[in-house]
Amino acid sequence: MKDCNTMHKYWEDKYKEQSEVIIDDQMRELPFLAFDGDRDLRFISLPDSVTKICFRAFKDCTALEKIIIPSTVTSIGNNAFENCEKLKAVELAQNLTRYAEEFSLTANPLNTSEFPSG
């Protein structure tokens, strides 16, 4: 598996300019700047195969309103949701509540809901 930096081009070609994205269930991480500046993305659901959201993965996704993050995610990079001005709903598994602060910096007000892990 390639690291976060080398995966950026692949992600840009595959998912850019889509309003709703369901990530391939074989992906293990969202790379650095994966959706950087994507102004079309409104909703994204991550599969259980994803364990890492890299630094600034959703930077400047100004239309992003909702994301579903499964319990398998064990790492969310700094500023992963920087400038996601419209982010209103984040579904986090219980084991990810420590990351709630990351989302509170990106949108105001933000409704962060938890769902049971497992």
- Quick: pLDDT tens for 2-35: 445 555 556 666 666 667 777 778 888 888 888 8
Domain contains 89? yes
Domain span at residue 76?
A: 8-111
d(CA 44, CA 88): 13
On the 0-12 / 13-18 / 19+ scale of CB atoms within 10 A, 31 is buried
How confident is the model at residue 13, as a pLDDT? 61
Measure the CA–CA gap between 35 and 57, rounded to whole angstroms. 6
Q: Residue 14 domain-assigned?
A: yes
pLDDT confidence of residue 17: 60
Please report the pLDDT score of residue 101 as a whole number: 62
Taking the whole predicted model, whether its pTM rises above 0.85 is answered as no
- Give the per-residue pLDDT at 9: 58
Number of domains in the chain: 1
Is position 2 within any domain?
A: no
103 lies in some domain: yes
Convert 46-76 to b/e letters by CB count within 10 Å (16 or more is b).
Answer: beeebebbbbbbbbbbeebbbbbbbebbeeb
Which residues in the chain come in under a pLDDT of 70?
Answer: 1-18, 97-118
